[in-house]
Chains A and B, each alone.
Chain A
Amino acid sequence: MQGQNKTLLIAGAAIVVLIILAAGYFLFAGGGEQPATGQQQEEQPAAGQQQEQQQQEQAPPAEEKIVVGATLSLTGKYAKEGEMSLLGALAAIRWINDNGGIKIGDKTYMLELKYYDDESNKDRVKSLVERLIKEDQVQFLLAPYSSGLTAAAAPIAEKYGAIMISHGGASDKIFQQGYKYVVQVLTPASRYFVSVIDLVKAIDPEAKTIAIVYKENPFSSVVAEGAKKYAEQQGFQVVYYQSYPADAQDLTPVLQPLKEMKPDIIIGGGHFADGQLLARQLYELGIKPKLVAILVAPALPEFYETLGDAAEGIAYPSQWEPGVKFSPDNVPPGYEWYGPTVDEFLQYFKMVAEERGKGDLVPSYHAADAAAAILFLAKAIEMAQSLDPDDVRQAMNDVAIFTFYGKIKIDPETGLQIGHEMIVGQWQNGRKVIIWPPEAAEAEPLYPMPGYTG
């Protein structure tokens, strides 16, 4: 009995192991031990579809290429940002390739994007990042969206020494954790409202009180904290500082006291849906300060489509707007021009969007953020004259470029972005216009907002 048991045990265990191995083989056949060129996933271009953009942005043959990896949130709560990031990155890559690629010594490299959907879920990110690095042989990565996802990816990228460029949604705190290879191209969350506050201070010495109403979320809480601190430094009085839960459907309770309080300025918001709600309910409740500035939501065309009159006069801090006037002619001292002009970027964006059946999309700043990450990387590689991540990371410290996106320059110590500045946009007569900084402005600020009664 006992001896028989043992045999059975061993036999059974063997069977289980075999099943698992077989399943494993089935699952991973085609992965694993291929030569590591980063090309095995490439599809043959179908006949007649020469420039068909596939999941990998294909490089013209006979040239070497550099694969940039990305985990993008194409599904889940960051799906909108993910879509924009994808198109923005593709547009920048296409522009670089069409303009001679990246030269290292006498070799020319074409860029290529390899990406997967991370479902906005941090427990998907890890295996995908590792796959990008180890199997797709990627050494340069666009970081996933949001600080939670970035934190999940960072240790793995660090382990393999791959560079991760943050292009969205990450809290400043990520850059205080001592990661060596994580750098940022967009203005950090804590400085989102700096330009708005500067604007008010510059044009209205009378304005003294600010109310902050924000969404309780890792990103917008940092934005609000930063805004409060900066406003107080600038001599404003923050008279109201309240948040609402991430999925709030009704902000009336938080907004009601503002009717009596009559702050000069109201700033806040968080994301797409709640930003619309905030603007809408301020309007419904008849709360009319001199200026309302809201995060994220107003930057999209849907904001006006959704709200109509309620959108009129709403300002917003933005990383970038299609109307910006950054050009090779107004490069600030200490910076050098790099990459496409604004028009070129818009044109390339349209091109890649059309190929994916999204021709009518207008790029949001999330698209520009991702494109900026690509440009920053390309410039750093060129400066390093090397594909070694350590060299490139070193070179990134010295990159100071002026692009269609504005200034890009990082803090060598932390990787935090210190060059790029927010601009301020505003809805005027159903159109988004840039109102700040003055050198980029398309129109005078509509100030105070329509309906302000004092």
Chain B
Amino acid sequence: MPDLNLLVASIISGLLIGAVYGIATVGLNLIFGVLRIVNVGHGAFIMLGAYLAFIVYTSLGLPPLLGVVAGLAVGAVLGLIIYYLVIRYLHDAPELATLLATFAIGILIQELVKAVMGPDSRGFVWNPLAAYEFEIFGYKPSSFQILAALSSLALLAFLYVVIYRTRLGLAIRAVVQDREGAMVVGIDVERIYAASFALGIMVTVASGAILAAYLQTGIHPYMGEIYTLKGFVIAVMGGLGSIPGAFIAGVLFGLFENVSYLLLAGIEGVQPLVLTRSIAFLLLLLILLVKPTGLMGR
């Protein structure tokens, strides 16, 4: 029987990292929901956000979570540039063409970042509330982990307000539901596409900053690849295009990765932490077996 303390620890740390996974997937889902584009370069934008947090902290001496603000700004500019330079031309193209385009964009970002920042694996130490001890059911997460998870929620709230409380959000939702219909009522679908793409990139880059604040190590030009992969899986688990679905699935994914470890740890001759990955993907298949459009997909 797994030790109860370990179980609690796993659940809490799973929830914390899960919130970060969740926010790191939301942008991917937004872009898919509106533009029907699977952004294969997703991880590169997360990596960019992580570097922003790194620079904000090490060069400017500000808390790395302010990288979220920088991420939103950089993401907005980058998102618009990419949209008007590339994505705009690919509306009528087969879905796969956009896949290739976003892949190439990802490579470009990786290599440009590497040219500027070098190939090294960077990191920092930031623990602003080290003096305080947080204890949840006997488990003591670090302050930066809690702050990162809270920032994820804040960013999610920001996105929620944009989508459910603004004219732009209304228009975006209209386009998601039925683009012809939206066009007929006078929505400039082209501009909504641009705005949604930019919004998706903004959230993704910003989530990279949150991720960096949570992990604080392992910031390098190729760090994003695993998040592209995890992002895909979480997005599908939650239901493509569903923003709350993405977030909930992210939390679930984090939770599951952590808790399944305890079960696997009892098996002789295997490497439990490695196998949790297999189990997490198995979970994806099971969810899709029961609900082929993900937890909250239509």
Contact = CB atoms under 8 A, between A and B. Distances in A.
- Answer whether A and B touch in the complex at a CB cut-off of 8 Å: yes
Interface of A: 75-77, 79-80, 82-83, 216, 242-245, 247-254, 256, 272-274, 276-277, 280, 284, 297, 300, 302, 305-310, 358
27 contacts: A76-B222, A77-B222, A79-B222, A80-B220, A82-B119, A216-B274, A242-B273, A244-B273, A244-B274, A245-B273, A245-B274, A249-B17, A249-B215, A249-B226, A251-B273, A253-B262, A253-B272, A253-B273, A254-B261, A272-B120, A274-B218, A277-B218, A280-B123, A305-B122, A307-B217, A309-B125, A310-B125
A242 B122 contact: no
B204 interface: no
A242 B120 CA distance: 26
Nearest to B5: A256
Given A75-B111, A253-B261, A243 B120 contact: no
Contact of A252 (B13, B125, B217, B265): B13
B17 A250 contact: yes
B53 to A, nearest CB: 13
Nearest to A271: B121
Given A244-B273, A273-B217, A276-B217, A252 B122 contact: no
Contact of B271 (A80, A216, A252, A308): A216
B220 A272 contact: yes
Contact of A302 (B120, B262, B272): B120
B125 A80 contact: no
A284 B274 contact: no
B221 interface: yes
Interface in B7-21: 9-10, 13, 17
B114 interface: yes
A243 B124 contact: no
B216 interface: yes
Nearest to A278: B217
Contact of B114 (A75, A243, A244): A75
Interface in B247-298: 258, 261-262, 265, 271-274, 276-277
Interface string B100-127: 0000000000010010001111111100
B142 A284 contact: yes
Interface string B224-266: 0110000000000000000000000000000000100110010
Interface in B120-162: 120-125, 142
A27 to B, nearest CB: 21
B97 to A, nearest CB: 23
B6 interface: yes
A75 B261 CA distance: 34
Contacts of B122: 302, 305-306
Contacts of A273: 121, 217-218, 220, 223
B277 A245 contact: yes
A256 B6 contact: yes
B273 A79 contact: no
Contact of A276 (B218, B272, B273, B276): B218
A214 to B, nearest CB: 10
Can you list the 10 inter-chain pairs with the closest CB atoms, starting with the nearest?
A273-B218, A306-B123, A272-B121, A79-B119, A276-B217, A247-B226, A253-B261, A80-B119, A273-B121, A243-B271
Interface of B: 6, 9-10, 13, 17, 111, 114, 118-125, 142, 215-218, 220-223, 225-226, 258, 261-262, 265, 271-274, 276-277
Contacts of B218: 249, 272-274, 276-277
Contacts of A245: 273-274, 276-277
B274 A243 contact: yes
Nearest to B17: A250
Contacts of A306: 121-125, 216-217
Given A79-B119, A253-B258, A307-B123, A242 B222 contact: no
Nearest to B254: A250
B98 to A, nearest CB: 23
B238 to A, nearest CB: 19
B59 to A, nearest CB: 13
Most buried by B among A83, A245, A302, A306: A306
Contacts of A76: 222
Given A80-B220, A242-B271, A302-B120, 10 more contacts: A76-B222, A247-B226, A256-B6, A272-B218, A273-B121, A277-B215, A277-B217, A280-B217, A297-B121, A307-B125
A309 B261 CA distance: 30
A302 B124 CA distance: 9
A341 to B, nearest CB: 27
Contacts of B222: 76-77, 79
A310 B215 CA distance: 14
A243 B121 contact: no
Contact of B9 (A243, A252, A358): A252
A280 B218 CA distance: 11
Nearest to B54: A306
Nearest to B229: A247
B120 A80 contact: yes
A248 B215 contact: no
A200 B261 CA distance: 32
B267 to A, nearest CB: 12
A244 B261 CA distance: 11
A371 to B, nearest CB: 19
A276 B9 contact: no
Contacts of B272: 242, 253-254
A82 B277 CA distance: 29
A291 B163 CA distance: 53
